[in-house]
Every structure is written in structure tokens, then in C-alpha cells.
Structure 1
């Protein structure tokens, strides 16, 4: 039955969610055939294509690459996933979220192609990816920056041959699809690399399989700490490359500096002569909601594995607070909750677990049991992130702060509740950005 309350875009998204028997179906055969029917593989998608894979740091790397490219006067398109509030966030053209008409036109093009001949079933993510690539090709940017999903080698984005391939970090996540062996995970993520084209290794702690994959392809390796690097210097930082270029006193973007250094060298390898003033402007202005995003004394971060949680804990430790630090934690059932809790615990005084919805949901009661088994103080539990945030707002003491974490769904629900309230109240706090 048609729901008259749905927008045309929402109706499409609901249809796509139900169209394929499984939500994640790794492999390129189906999506590549539809791409061929759409003509997406007939020529370059953009002047230069940069793909970004890894466990953590993909979103921040894409955001900084986008800001850097546009501050250098280049037109740019980005594709990322998932989104926090609206699906439109996944596709940005010159820094602007795609409108509904653009997204629907992409979905319609995919639908026509997949039915042109033997029908081909596609997942929600695959249709979204092909639709975004259709829009990017029409926009014809000078630089396209594409986040590769969890599959790496078998991810839908990998139907394209990128000019520069970036691998940010490798850690255990999505074990049901990628397993727990870091060498195998690294090999899968490195599957975005192409023969003879630059491969950027954005972490000093990557499994050996990542470099080995690049070398097997004769892809020039540009590794953090070897070909380029970045070091904090008080409140600013400095970047350098192997050719002797040094930019000192760069503004802290509020995002991981390894990813910032990697974004600079990736753009350079895409053929851009870096201008120090443009880099300063980009790093000072970049915004990425849900990544160490501050709203007053609330910090929101979508990190959902131990490596990401350790980074958040370290950043919180750099900002002492007079009162307590409380964590509003909501996680999906297939994530390493114990590992995340262990990583965050040194910076957290008390916890409020919340329930997430959906087939992969984990209840607040289950999280509370894990927290208590690990010796953590559970002050309350709630049926949703939004309700948890409301409870905390009513019970915080002066000087307390809150970390909202554990999932895109956790952060997104809290942001959505604030956005809804802002429509009926005079709420001057920003919904996006950082302070």
C-alpha cells in the first residue's frame, strides 16, 4: 500500500530496502553488469578519481580531501555512507548535499538498466552507489572522492579504476563478512589498488598484506611516516613530504591528523600542486558531523570498534573537565561491545546504555550487563538514544559532559531529536559542525 506521507525519495528508499533478499551481498558481477548497461564504465567518471578504503578514518579523509580540492579551485564530488540524518548526505556535489531530484534520477537510471535484459537484483547499497556514480558522471567534476564500503575489493565502488587509492586503517570490524584475520582484512581493503597507480598507506600500523598487494601490482607506495607525515606542534601541526615540502603551523581540523596528512598527499598524487594558503583554509573550515562533534558540553562520535573508541578516549583525555564524563552508548549486536567499552573506560565515569532498533539491534539491558561485568557504573538505561539524551539533559550536574557514541544510529537519533526540537523551540545550538 502506498503511504501518502512519504516523500518520493523516501518511497524509493523504502522500495530499495525491500528489493534484495539480503542487505549485504558482496561481489562485483551483478553491479558491474548494471554499470556496463548504464555506460558508467565507458569513460572517466571525473578528471581524477580517488577511492578511500579502511576500517576507520574514511569519512574524515573524504571530508578533508573534498575541502582541500575545493579550496584549490577544483570542482569536486563525494560519495560516502552511511548517513546520519538524511540519505542526501551520501552524495555531495561541490560541497552541497544532492537534492531529491538528483538522487531519484539516479535510482531511475539504475532501475531501467537492471531491467534492460535479464533482470538483475541489487542491494540497497549497490543501487545507491550506481545512482551516485550516474549523478557524478553528469556533474563531471575535476575530482571525485569515493568512500569504499566494508567490502573493499568486492565493494560496489570498486567497479571503477581509481587514479589514487587510499587505505586509512585496518582493524577488526564486520567480522561476519571479513573475518578476524587482519592480514586477510588488509588484503581485501587493498583490493581497491590498481596496477601502476599510486597507493597511499594512511597508517603506520597496517598489516603487511596491504603493502604486499601494492607491490604485487607495481603500484607506487606512499606510506605514512616514510613518503609523508604529520606531527602535532602545540595547537597546530606540520606536514611534510619526501620531496622536502613542509607546511608548518597548520590549523588542527579537529579530525585525526594522520588522515589530514594522508588527504594532503592523496590530492598531491592526483596531480594538484598544493598551495599552503589553500590548505590552511580547507583545514580550518572542514566540518564532519558525528566525528568528535561538539555541541556545548556534548561530544558525538560514530566510532563503533575498539580502534575508533581508543582515538575518542584519547581526544577526551586531552580536554579535562570539572565534572563527570558520561557515555550514552548504543551499539549493534554484531559489534565488539566489550572492546569498545574497554577502550573508552579510562575516559568515562558513568554509562547510560540505550537500545537500538532493527534486526541487528542490541538492547540496553544487554549492554548494561556487559558494562557491569566489566566493572563500569551504569547510571540509567533507556529504550532509545533520543530518550537517553533527554534523561541526561535532566540529570547532568554543572561541569558534566556527555559522549554520545557506539553507532551511526546512536548519533543520528540524538541529532534527529535535537533537530526536531529546534523546529519548535528557539534552540541556537548548531546541529552540524563543531565548536
Structure 2
């Protein structure tokens, strides 16, 4: 008799966490086999698919792509990872989190396909990705936005051929899986590029290997500073196309299952002025605009302005009262965070609440944030990749930082700090999705991520 499948989302997630011996098992063979059994490779997933890879900036780029698409009246499906509080955050349909029933149906579809023939072992992330793709394919939205989880070439998301591929930044992270050589990391990120299709490169400082892969594929390269750019900072900035943008072309049916697509809305003006500050990196905002243009979307200035005014991304420079929460967990992200905090000095102390995984570069993150943080509280992160508060405190003190307290968890660290804050103080919570998610839940335990009463979300408003 076959085993009964779980009936609740929590039960499914517990099952998936225990089902595969490795949390991360890079490779597409197993995922592609199950995807074929599910019919995901035989027909279009959406009117257009945009896949986004990069060390930092993926989440903000995807959030702005989604906001822009919705403002233009397009139907959307967005898959991201990891989540902060609820697993449902990973799949958004027309801007709303997927409900439990949708996720459960996707998991069940994956399980049936996985066992239809020789059983295939899948990780937690792989099952989640295939389940989300199944849910997206049932809707066939105008636009599917897929965020790579790790790397690019061997990530489960890359089982789907994108119509437009975006690479935001390349820096060191996930060294145990991607190594420390930036040229090698760049090649892995560039694994999402496809022959003859638009490749939007959203950083002026990418490794040479990214462009080499694009050239080998004869991809249509749209690089920041070459094909598009921006003028100005903050509110009132301008997006500019630096070369003519041709209409989206019909794909060759012999090379792509998602063939014979017409432009979604046509072509658009080459510049958009007087854009509001979305509270997220403006290079990523310009990259999102260019990616939509490459997907054949007509950009309407008023819709773009509305989208940038309304976009929200929990856990990225998210203010909740005196607390600033940011998931930055590598030196590149920490340097950006330090610059943004320095631009808004605090009248009181800036205290850091830091919790990091053991495989992250804690020394590099601490060095980047040292100029803007006066003192620290460290928090233990449990689990296979966890790091203790004591070990993190040793890293801080080794760089001359002041450590006020060592806590058993991010929530315990937040509770300790909460009773010791002056009205003019602020707290930076950072180092991991786990750290930010737990503290965000502690600050607003009954409210989904990003929806607290005092939340300014991604808006950079100093308390």
C-alpha cells in the first residue's frame, strides 16, 4: 500500500526536510527527469520567463520586476527563496502569496512524478522549485519571474529556459559550493544564459567570464553602462536606453519549447524621467526596467513611477520602529548596507544584532559594518550550518569591536536589546535570512513578513 501523503503544509515541509540526505545537491539531471515526467518541459510555462541570478541584488531586482509588471497590468508568477517567516512567501501569484492548498497540490504533483518509474531523490529546494513551477504552469501567466537559489548553471530553477536572463552581481558567497574564484563563480552564474536570447548584465563590475559565456552563446548582451543606464540618485532619477531596443523576436520552435511568442505589449520610449527612489539599489531598478524591455513589455512612465513608489521587499533595509532589518550576509552586501546607514546618521547609538551561518565570511561582514556600528549583540543560529554566539563574538572582538551580550537565539538577542534602547538608538539586525526572519517574527509575531503597522519596508527612513 502506498504511503499516505501529508494533508497540511507544515507536515509536507517536515517530510521534505527529512527526505534527502543533503540540504544542497547541485545538478540538473534528477530535477530535469521529474520535470519531464510532470510535463513542465513540453509547453510554455508563461508568456515570458525572466530568470535572475547573482550574488546580491536578486531579490530586489525580482521585487521590482514584479511591481513593474503588475503596474502594467500583466499577470505574474514569482518564485524566490529563501523565505523569512512563511514558506508561502516563496511563491507569489499576481503579487499575492500562494495559499497552502496551492503549495500542497504542487508538492503532491512532484511526489507522483518522482515515483512514476524509477524513484528519483530530490532535495527540499528541488521539490519546492518543481512544485512552484507546476503551479505556475497551470496558470500560464503573462510573466514568470524565477530567482536562482544558488549559483545558476546547476540550480533547479535553471531547468526552465528563460526568455530573458539577468545577472545582477558576482561576489564571493557559498564558497563550499561555488569556490572562491570570481571567474569560476561568474561562469556558474552565467549558466542561466541561453543562446541568442537577451542577457541583461546589471553590474559594471562583473568577472570577464560572464561576458565570455555570453559571447560563446551569441547571447544578445544588454549591459549596464553600455546598453542602458541611469542618471541621478534618489528621487528624480532617469532610466536611459543607450542604444535602440528592437521588438522582441519570435523564438525558433526548433530550439525552444516556449516558441512562437509575440511581444507582450510592444516597444517603448528610450528614457523615463522623474522616477521615485524605490528604497532599493537603483542599478537593480534600471536592470529590472531593461529586462522588461527585453521581454517585449512597453514601459509606461506613469506605471513605472507607481511601481517604484509601491514596491516592498521585507528584510532589505526594512525599518520597524527603531529596528532596521537586512538579510545581507556577505561582505559585498554588508558594504552596501554600511553606505546606506552612513547616509542617515543616528542621533544615538547604532547597535548590531548579528547571527550568521558557519559557512559565511563573518570577518568580512564585520569589517564592512564596523564603521557604522557602535556595539554588538551576537545570536546563535542552530542547525547543521549554524554558528554559536560565542564564536561570532570572538570574531568581533578580534577586530576590536564591543560585544554587549551573547544570546542563544536571534529572538533572545532582540528581547535583551529591547529593554536597553534609548529612544534615539537604532538596531541593525543582519547576517542571515534566519536571523532577520526570527527577529521580524518576534517584532510582529502575528503578522506576515513586511506587513507590520510600523513597517516602512524597503523604504530607507531613519528613525
Say whether the fold is shared (TM-score over 0.5). yes
Matched, 1:404 2:429: yes
Tell me the equivalent position of 2:238: 238
Aligned to 2:402: 377
CA, structure 1 residues 353+30, in 2 after alignment: closer, same or farther (shift >3 Å)? Answer: same
Distance of aligned partners of 1:234 and 1:57 in 2 relative to their CA distance in 1, 3 Å threshold? closer
How far apart, in 2, do the equivalents of 1:63 and 1:216 lie? 30
Please state if 1:312 is matched with 2:343.
no
CA distance in 2: counterparts of 1:370 and 1:20, whole angstroms: 33
Find the aligned partners of 1:394 and 1:310 in 2 and give their Cα distance: 29
Alignment equivalent of 1:257, drawn from 269, 272, 282: 282
Q: In the alignment, which residue of structure 2 is the partner of 1:175?
A: 175
1:233: Cα distance to partner? Answer: 3.9
- Cα RMSD over matched residues? 1.5
**Do the aligned residues in 2 keep the contact of 1:233 with 1:249 (CA within 8 Å)?**
no
Q: CA deviation at 1:429?
A: 2.7
Query: Are 2:223 and 1:198 equivalent residues in the alignment?
Result: no
Deviation at 1:320, TM superposition (A): 1.2
Is 2:7–2:104's contact at 8 Å kept on the other side of the alignment? no
Partners of 2:318 and 2:456 within 8 A in 1: no
Instruction: State how far apart, in whole Å, the 2-side matches of 1:211 and 1:350 are.
Output: 42
Provide the aligned length of Structure 1 versus Structure 2. 427
- Report the 3-state secondary structure (helix = DSSP H, G, I; strand = E; otherwise coil) of the residue aligned with 1:395: coil
Q: Does 1:394 align with 2:458?
A: no
Counterpart in the other structure of 2:303: 278
1:79-158 correspondence runs (5 A):
79-158=79-158
Equivalent residue of 1:268, what SS?
helix
Question: Does the CA-based 8 Å contact 1:166-1:202 persist in structure 2?
Answer: yes
The question of 1:217 aligning with 2:217 is answered: yes
- Secondary structure of the corresponding residue to residue 403 of structure 2: coil
Mark the CA change 1:238 to 1:38 in structure 2 (over 3 Å): closer, same or farther. Answer: same
**Aligned-pair distance for 1:124?**
0.4
Which residue in 2 is equivalent to 1:344?
A: 369
SS of the residue 2:272 aligns to:
strand
Any runs of at least 4 consecutive aligned residues in structure 1 with deviations exceeding 3 A, and if so which? Answer: 233-236, 430-435
1:398 CA drift (Å): 2.5
Deviation at residue 421 of structure 1 after TM alignment: 6.8
Helix, strand or coil for the counterpart of 2:309? helix
In structure 1, distance between residues paired with 2:320 and 2:231? 27
- How far the C-alpha of 1:417 sits from its partner, in A, is 1.2
Structure 2 residue matching 1:31: 3-state secondary structure: helix
Matching residue of 1:297:
322
Contact kept? 2:151, 2:185, Cα under 8 Å: no
**Tell me, what secondary structure is at the counterpart of 2:368?**
helix
Q: Which residue number in structure 2 is paired with residue 8 of structure 1?
A: 8
| Cα offset, 1:238, TM superposition | 1.5
Relative distance call for 1:173 and 1:234 in structure 2 (3 A) is: closer
Equivalent position SS for 1:63: helix
CA contact (8 A) 2:88 2:100 kept: yes
Report if the CA contact (8 A) 2:353-2:376 is conserved: yes
Please give the per-residue CA displacement for 1:47-82, whole angstroms capped at 9, x wherever unaligned.
Answer: 000000010000100000000011111001100000
Q: Work out whether residues 419 and 431 of structure 1, in 8 Å CA contact, stay in contact via their aligned partners in 2.
A: no
Report the alpha carbon displacement of residue 264 of structure 1 after superposing the two structures with TM: 0.3
Aligned to 1:353: 378
On the 8 A contact 2:316/2:458 being kept in 1, the answer is no
Cα distance in 1 for partners of 2:124, 2:169 equals: 26
Aligned residues of 2:171 and 2:332 also touching (Cα < 8 A)? yes
In 1: Cα distance, 2:213 partner to 2:339 partner:
32
Q: Offset of 1:422 from its aligned partner?
A: 7.0
CA distance in 2, matches of 1:153, 1:289: 27
Native 8 Å contact 2:187 2:213 kept in 1:
yes
Which sections of structure 1, spanning at least 5 residues, go unmatched? 1-5
CA distance change for structure 1 residues 50 and 256 in 2, over 3 Å: closer, same or farther? same
Q: Scaled by the length of structure 1, what TM-score is found?
A: 0.96
Could you tell which deviates more after superposition, 124-133 or 222-231? 222-231
TM-score normalised over the length of structure 2: 0.90
Contact 2:319 2:457 in 1 (8 A): no
Give the Cα–Cα distance (whole angstroms) in 1 for the partners of residues 387 and 72 of structure 2.
Answer: 44
Q: CA deviation at 1:418?
A: 1.9
- SS for the counterpart of 2:117 is coil
